Amino acid sequence: MNMNDDMSGKESSATHGAYMTLRDMILTGELPAGQKLKIEQLRGLLKTGASPVREALSLLTSDMLVERIDQRGFRAAPANKANFEEILELRCTLEDLALRKSIAAATPQWEEQLILTHHRMRKSVGQDIKVFEEAHKTFHMALLANSGSPMLERYCAQLYDLNIRYRNLAAGGSKYQSRDIAAEHEEILEAAVQYNADLACTCLLKHYRLTGEYLAREMDA
């Protein structure tokens, strides 16, 4: 009759579930970069049919997390330093652009969202890492959310995820919190709320590049 675990009852469909799970497994590195993704294997893992798996993989292609080779199945997107640096650089360029646009078009609602998402991020710092990660992304996306260009924001979100993936792949452990991340976020927030685009962007890019350098070092191993 009914289906299994749909905890809070939002979107439920085998495809959507498979999509979310696979996405998470690739982002966390549970499915290693470059790995062949066999339908049967995943079918067993996700306890669903072949069609949803296949469709989920097709969807993950959009996110550049999965590669599809016609007639030869799917594989987790490969990862290497060059790709990582490409992502970092593109991300800096596009987020700089988006943040400037957001600030240029600043509205009270947007600012309030910044304050809120930042607050929630701070509150989530002790909790499960997944919760913090979610809040962290939400805050960063809120910074760009007023750019007036949905596609630009989409690209930024995509690059954000790809970057997170590298963080997970490189730093198995997560003791990378040597820097004062919280202070960096506050700097960005403050500059944004004061409509200081140059400063906000400087802080934002510094925030990304510092993490980037740390990860690049890890990846040499």
Partner DNA sequence: AATCTCAAAAATATCGATATTAATTGACAT
Partner DNA sequence: ATGTCAATTAATATCGATATTTTTGAGATT
**For the chain, what's the residue count?**
221
| Chain position carrying tokens 């993936």 | 165
Using the rule CB under 8 A, give the single segment among 66-74, 131-139, 171-179, 190-198 that binds a copy of itself.
Answer: 66-74
Give Cβ neighbours of residue 68 (< 8 Å, ≥ 6 apart): 57, 58, 61, 74
Shortest Cβ distance from residue 190 to DNA (Å)? 43
Using the rule CB under 8 A, give the single segment among 28-36, 51-59, 185-193, 205-213 that binds a copy of itself.
Answer: 51-59
59 binds a copy of itself (CB under 8 A): yes
CB 143 within 8 A of CB 188: yes
6 binds a copy of itself (CB under 8 A): no
CB 145 within 8 A of CB 153: yes
Q: What is the rounded CA–CA span in Å between residue 77 and residue 20?
A: 16
206 binds a copy of itself (CB under 8 A): no
Give Cβ neighbours of residue 210 (< 8 Å, ≥ 6 apart): 179, 184
Give Cβ neighbours of residue 82 (< 8 Å, ≥ 6 apart): none
Shortest Cβ distance from residue 158 to DNA (Å)? 22
Residue 61 partner contact from DNA, a copy of itself, none using kind-dependent CB cut-offs of 5 to 8 Å: a copy of itself
Report the residue number, 70 or 220, with the smaller CB distance to DNA.
70
Q: Which residues form the interface with a copy of itself (CB under 8 A)?
A: 11, 13, 15-16, 51, 54-55, 58-59, 61-62, 64, 68, 70-71, 86-87, 89-90, 93, 97, 148-152, 155
